């Protein structure tokens, strides 16, 4: 029996992935082999929080740490489901093969992320989402991830890919990989909160798992995720509150959004220049091809990581194009746009009409050096696949919890005009009546 | 009065740098301005632990987070010294100007680090140490750091530079910036331990500061660092134990050393190729110049960061040179050398005689694909500038503490033969009698 | 200058009460002297959570630890107000004398608690509340607390007493001692949560203080507590959520309520026996006098603590009266009543009609061995004295926060029928249709 | 299958004792039943740290919390041994019956403690140690603990009793219950450190267990406790360092020792008065009988707890005997003796000759109002039953660890003259040359 892999983790403490059976079919042996593939190792070079570390210096962890953490949370979920096996119909139990698929899915679910994580999905108007790239990497026979899975079981690459997208005969497992309340979110909420220091400690994994149940509605054939009474309610509220606070304080932080607006401007400029047939020194081939509209190979996509993009920005920061130069310097030296919140109903045109002339006066191009950021997300969207068991009663989360009820009426919005820091006062004055 | 800068930090919690006086002479205003310079921001792109994150996935924090943390620890030190002012001779007290210099020194003390931190100092046989580069950045009138310091006070760049190197009329302050027991170490031991998850929590900053004293020996003109009795002893033992454990478990971890041996091999190869006048595609200009023996300008040096080196390795990993290709792939995909510990007295030649033929058999060049790692560090070196006050008695740390006494007799050694992972069994057999 | 008192605390870490001025007028010198009085020391013998440690074995901390913690939180509040002094009208600033009064008030605010904390207030139908006893102890010239305060300033006893009851010319200070959001609650929520292990860590004191403001409404003469924008909102929501969770999980835990119902039954029995002129062996004189309707002297009241009551229960547990014996044994050996939740609208009579016969069948007196527990508390009651500042806007908490909005609609109720554990099944059956 | 008992604990987090088999033979079902016995519940009324909470206000936890914690650590040990079963000879494995005995032993190992824990063992010159009383409670057929164990298996009471005293056919299990390195110590070091706030966090249970091995020396028939290499060494050093720091900072704290000297004086006085045939009002019958030399019944001994003794002291504090009055008031109001450290070689007579006259001058009896405290404990005593495995080598802890080597040369001594606080200056002067 090979030695267990024991990792120390700032969030979960001791993580132990220990095979318990001798053969190659052991779920944890597969997991450990997958960790060593080059596609998974690439995640070390992609920061999980993208540009957010500009505002939260602690938030510098990579997607690799998060991938390992997600697999750990999955291992705890599997252990919990095992302890509930007596209450479950046969087809809702998870055998060793499904354990392997589930652990693999948790580890590789984010494989397709590009540089700076989510921002990269907006690199082009029609850029593919990271989920597509994850699928492609799993299914491409030339990737190491594919080969390792295929050796385990020729069906495994497809099974993992389907599970990540929510397709799985064991319904509750599909939800645990990809639902409102899944192992991915459990890990990233805990990790992002711990690392940024925005610690509300709301997400208590031990307690959450201890109060997790699987509930078989009368007449139904498949069990559904449930939490147990008052203690479970608290745990699950903690999960959604943690999400709420992370959005409010980190993910939608104005400086983080400002950096994203700058990066998108930079991508837009690159796109236009390439579209116009220009070549931009310092741009990696894969990126240049992408901006010219070519379809990237898996191999090319894999080459894209934070380091490559940082290096490209270093070139731009000393290059000839004033837009690329200005935005790259700003991002590298944390000279971020400032912003002013404007009322929801104010139109982009109205804002632009006030801001653009100010930017132009500075000799900057307002198409790139001014921006409007508008986001709108609900704090809680009812999820019928998660119920609360209170003695004999079965309730929806919304019925059972006034806290969730409060969240359900909350929409995070960010509607901000953004501009170079020199305009801080002028822009505030110009936008006074729109705030 | 400008708003305080409030940061959340995973290690220290809330960090607040708040100016308390209106003018530009306020120490915290200077600190905040320095944080925004491009040389300090560059530290975001250099991992504090270099290659150690390959073995400790949590240890991905940058030198920037550490620089801010060091300034925070300095602010706590200054506060403590203020509360002891009554016991101090006038010239040992710290006025507002010296506070500014001290905070600045704590923030910028590591400015000169190159990519992957310490390893980069071994890039060339005669490479300059990071301390030299720090000095150069401070004194070069073209850096932003210099300009900000110079605006504060034309003497400030030189004063900060000297303080970092231990020269300061206030002796205890020089020690706090650069001694066995300084703010830099306090922060990095706490931070590295927290982030790697190797948490022994031994370093309790609050307790350490509360038990810190300044002691004026009879007849002496300058106060010396001291700790107070039993409680102080525990705090200072905790500091040295933390250092001991971090060396034993992290800094000298065999996988970390293996990665460093690989990176040094890669640097050696680059040096030889450049020496031979070859040009190596993918090598950034500044690096190439360096390998050709040119003296780098400050500007060029500043361009070197982890991203640049990672990108170069990406090129090498797909390039023609088999040495650069093999080592770069290994580092990027965490296919690290394995190692076998050998006895201290065994000579390098003896080890090489066993290992090199095995490596050659694999078709690899033993000069790059085998290595011997040898380090030797004392766990505690007596520091006379730190004493223990036990009621009326003044003792050295070594006298006062059996724990320190134990550490003083400990030498960390790492003497290991390193080789590609395929040779794991063959090498172990070949070295059997040297272990 | 006398040495500071430095305490280690499981909740706040290092607590340092350090006089900064030489004379007896120093606020921290007064605080330290008050800590050494016998009335404050008595709080060591009264558990803060009363009977809750029966359900939460960690919750065994005393009112003394809480009193010290409250004084610490007050010291942090005073420090924060000092840093805001520039923004405050003169009469809202806190000078050294008021600091002393404020610290004293925080320390002694709970002096009047009887054995097992709140439960003791229900010992008699018309028992005095602990606040009254606190006042009496402060104003009685024979107590040590009074003497120490009087020596500090002859007006101090009355000033402290008034402040505890919310009367103080500095309005925001009155609120900080006794409001919806005061230092007492800050400490007990943090402490009770930490100790019981019901850790939601929601109350982040550092963050709360950093986002605290004092706001002077246009035309108003006195400042009002406020929190600053988004970061403050999160902090203050955390406070109310912590309170919500502690009620739901600890204070109203069914086993805790069961123990309280048992203790009240025991008090009722003692009252009736004493009313009837009987003497009950093992009852301390002060208690017996109280049950006979005598007015207790301060001295007598001070003698009452958990130890005295525990000892009395030890006597009862071996005594002749079957009611006192049964209830005392149950409480001492954690053989607590079980309970069944019944619908809110069900009348006590209806429940009694089902339960009492079952209890009587066991040979037990239903007046004491069955009970109905009914409580109703709002999770959040609007407090106009606390506002949220969002840029130029001033909002009430209810307007600003959907989470608070959710809480405001929540009423904790506990409506439970309680009975000896042997009846667990029979009672559940009998109450089936009332659940 | 009955529901698991889930407890929240401030030290270990979530503690779950979950039966996994249906019958009464399940180890965890036995454990839960034992927790509900009256002898175990009595431990709620005995503070684990005795008088130490006078110096460390957080240290108010009871022996009950510690007993539950010890059972939890045992459950983790059993789990670890199970995972090592493959490496163990058959008779070193632990079957379900031995699991039950082991868990029971961990829970009840301290049953025999009297009021204020260890101090009570010194109540009489020839008082029985708590271990004897534990045995008596286990073997007395009238205790609930006995009955529950006997129902489980008629051999169980004796088996548990023997295991607590180190007699068990599975040698490593005997060591885990009662060795230098046992579950009792693991829990109390963690708990006492956490609660007093003297947190060095050195004892990392997860890491300790993960590095625990069982080693079968060549030719031996029984396995011995071992730790694995460098990681294990760190974990086990942490254990002994934690012990070292707790002694130095808490258990031998001068104020704690002073309180113990006072309590012993009080016991001595009670003994003398009872010896002389006097009756002392307020003394509980069991205590009075004890002081008269009677052998206590189990029942009588069980009645003794902190509450009973506190109440007796309350009587003494208002009683006629000046010695009992003075000492009781001092203990209740934390007016503790002060002390001066004297050199080891100074004789008690010499100290007495200086101190006693000063005490007599105050009108106090020096036999009770002065004391000499002398203790001597080694920081580490070599334990051959614990070895370190470093690759192929087996070393003793002393050989393997310089830190342990340092500790082994350390003897904690406390040699202090103690006296009422009023004599603080006079006594210091009188003892000047003996310090």
So what's the ipTM on this one?
Answer: 0.91
Q: Which of C300, C331, C369 is nearest to C133 (CA)?
A: C300
Q: What pLDDT score was predicted for residue B184?
A: 95
Q: What pLDDT score was predicted for residue A353?
A: 96
Three-state secondary structure call for residue D247 = helix
Mutate to test the interface with C, among A242, A379, A391, A406 (most CBs of C within 10 A): A406
CB contact under 8 A, B249 and D234: yes
Q: Which of C68, C76, C83 is nearest to C35 (CA)?
A: C68
User: Nearest-CA distance from A206 to chain D in Å?
Assistant: 7
CB contact under 8 A, A9 and B57: yes
Chain B hits for A60, CB-CB cut-off 8 Å, are 44, 60-62, 65
**Strand A386-390 to strand A393-396: parallel, antiparallel, or no bridges (unpaired)?**
antiparallel
All structural domains of chain C: 5-205 (1.10.3210.10)
Q: What pLDDT score was predicted for residue D1?
A: 42
CB contact under 8 A, B61 and A65: no
How far is Cα A59 from Cα A250, in angstroms, rounded to an integer? Answer: 10
CB contact under 8 A, A332 and B64: no
pLDDT digit of tens for each residue in chain D (435 aa)?
A: 456 898 989 999 899 999 988 888 999 999 999 999 999 999 999 999 999 999 999 999 999 999 999 999 999 999 999 999 888 888 899 999 999 999 999 999 999 999 987 778 777 777 778 889 999 999 999 999 999 999 999 999 999 999 999 999 999 999 999 888 899 999 999 999 989 988 765 688 998 999 899 988 888 888 888 998 877 888 889 889 888 889 888 999 999 999 999 999 999 999 999 999 999 999 999 999 988 888 899 999 999 999 999 999 999 999 999 999 999 999 999 999 999 999 989 999 999 999 999 999 999 999 999 999 998 888 888 877 788 998 778 999 998 998 898 899 888 888 999 999 999 999 999 999 998
D69 within 8 A of D110, measured Cβ to Cβ: no
Q: Which of B60, B68, B56 is nearest to B7 (CA)?
A: B68
C179-199 pLDDT, tens digit per residue, is: 888 999 999 999 999 899 887
How far is Cα C360 from Cα C363, in angstroms, rounded to an integer? Answer: 5
Task: Kindly list the distances between the CA atom of residue C286 and the CA atoms of C116, C305, C313, D277, D410, in Å, as whole numbers in the listed order.
Answer: 16, 11, 15, 29, 52
Three-state secondary structure call for residue B372 = strand
Q: What pLDDT score was predicted for residue B379?
A: 85
CB contacts under 8 A, C 148-207 vs A, are: 199-202, 204
A16-59 pLDDT, tens digit per residue, is: 999 988 888 999 999 999 999 999 999 999 999 999 999 999 99
User: Nearest-CA distance from B62 to chain A in Å?
Assistant: 7
For A25-29, C7-11, C260-264, which range has the lowest pLDDT when averaged over its residues? C7-11
Q: What pLDDT score was predicted for residue B1?
A: 42
A365-376 pLDDT, tens digit per residue, is: 999 999 999 988
Q: What pLDDT score was predicted for residue A300?
A: 93
Give chain B's residues under pLDDT 50: 1
D102 within 8 A of D78, measured Cβ to Cβ: yes
Mutate to test the interface with A, among D2, D209, D210 (most CBs of A within 10 A): D210
C326-351 pLDDT, tens digit per residue, is: 999 999 999 999 999 999 899 999 99
Tell me whether residue B399 is exposed, middle or buried, using C-beta atoms within 10 angstroms of its C-beta: 0 to 12, 13 to 18, 19 or more: middle
Q: For tokens 């508008």, what's the residue? A: A374
How far is Cα C146 from Cα C37, in angstroms, rounded to an integer? Answer: 9
CB contact under 8 A, B57 and A64: yes
User: Nearest-CA distance from A137 to chain B in Å?
Assistant: 16
Q: What pLDDT score was predicted for residue B388?
A: 92
- The DSSP string of B118-166 is GGGGGSSTTPPPHHHHHHHHHH-TTSHHHHHHHHH-TTHHHHHHHHHTT
CB contact under 8 A, D403 and B404: no
Residue B405: closest C-alpha in chain D: D406
Q: What pLDDT score was predicted for residue C200?
A: 67
User: Nearest-CA distance from A182 to chain D in Å?
Assistant: 22
Q: Looking at chain D, how many residues does it have?
A: 435
pLDDT of A198 strictly over 70: yes
Query: At residue B31, what are phi and psi to the nearest 5 degrees?
Result: -55, -45
CB contacts under 8 A, C 352-391 vs A, are: 379, 391
Q: What angle do CA A11, A12, A14 make, to 5 degrees?
A: 125
Q: What pLDDT score was predicted for residue D381?
A: 84
CB contacts under 8 A, A 385-404 vs C, are: 391-392, 401-404
Of C42, C62, C305, the CB nearest to D60: C62
**Average of per-residue pLDDT values in chain A:** 91
CB contacts under 8 A, C 281-320 vs D, are: 303, 305-308, 310-311, 314
Q: Which of A258, A282, A259 is nearest to A270 (CA)?
A: A282
Of A14, A206, A207, the CB nearest to D206: A14
Of D1, D14, D210, the CB nearest to A206: D14
User: Nearest-CA distance from C14 to chain D in Å?
Assistant: 8
Q: What angle do CA C98, C102, C104 make, to 5 degrees?
A: 115
Chain C hits for A409, CB-CB cut-off 8 Å, are 402, 405
Token pair for residue C101?
């009064």
Mutate to test the interface with A, among B9, B50, B58, B317 (most CBs of A within 10 A): B58
Q: Which of C98, C94, C84 is nearest to C153 (CA)?
A: C98
Q: What pLDDT score was predicted for residue A1?
A: 42
């Amino acid at each position: 029996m090979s030695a267990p892999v024991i990792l120390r983790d700032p969030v979960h403490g001791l993580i132990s992935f220990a095979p318990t059976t001798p053969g190659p079919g052991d779920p944890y042996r597969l997991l450990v082999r997958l960790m060593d593939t080059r596609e998974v190792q690439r995640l070390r070079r992609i920061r999980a929080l993208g540009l957010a570390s500009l505002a939260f210096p602690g938030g510098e962890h990579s997607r690799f740490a998060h991938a390992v953490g997600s697999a750990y949370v999955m291992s705890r979920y599997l252990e919990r489901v095992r302890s509930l096996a007596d209450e479950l119909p046969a087809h809702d139990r998870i055998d060793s093969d499904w354990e392997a698929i589930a652990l693999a899915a948790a580890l590789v679910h984010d494989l397709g992320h590009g540089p700076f994580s989510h921002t990269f999905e907006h690199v082009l108007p029609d850029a593919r989402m990271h989920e597509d790239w994850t699928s492609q990497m799993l299914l491409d026979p030339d990737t190491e991830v594919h080969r390792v899975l295929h050796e385990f079981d020729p069906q495994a690459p497809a099974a993992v890919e389907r599970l990540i997208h929510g397709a799985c005969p064991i319904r509750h497992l599909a939800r645990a990989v990809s639902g409102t309340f899944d192992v991915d979110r459990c890990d990233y909420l805990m990790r992002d909160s711990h690392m940024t220091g925005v610690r509300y400690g709301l997400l208590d994994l031990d307690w959450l798992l201890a109060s997790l149940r699987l509930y078989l509605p009368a007449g139904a054939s498949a069990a559904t995720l449930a939490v147990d009474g008052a203690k479970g309610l608290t745990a699950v509220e903690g999960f959604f509150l943690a999400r709420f606070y992370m959005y409010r304080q980190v993910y939608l932080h104005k400086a983080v959004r400002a950096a994203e607006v700058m990066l998108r401007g930079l991508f837009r400029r690159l796109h236009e220049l390439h579209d116009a047939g220009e070549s931009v020194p310092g741009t990696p081939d894969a990126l240049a091809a992408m901006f010219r509209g070519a379809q990237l190979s898996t191999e090319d996509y894999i080459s894209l990581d934070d380091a490559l993009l940082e290096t490209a920005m270093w070139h731009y920061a000393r290059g000839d194009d004033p837009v690329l130069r200005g935005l790259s310097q700003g991002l590298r030296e944390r000279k971020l746009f400032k912003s002013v919140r404007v009322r929801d109903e104010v139109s982009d045109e109205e804002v632009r009409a006030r801001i653009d002339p100010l930017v132009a006066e500075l000799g900057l191009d307002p198409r790139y050096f001014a921006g409007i950021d508008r986001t709108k997300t609900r704090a809680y969207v009812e999820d019928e696949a998660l119920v609360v068991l209170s003695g004999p009663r079965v309730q929806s989360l919304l019925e059972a919890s006034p806290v969730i009820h409060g969240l359900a009426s909350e929409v995070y919005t960010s509607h901000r005009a953004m501009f170079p820091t020199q305009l801080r006062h002028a822009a505030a004055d110009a936008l006074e009546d729109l705030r």
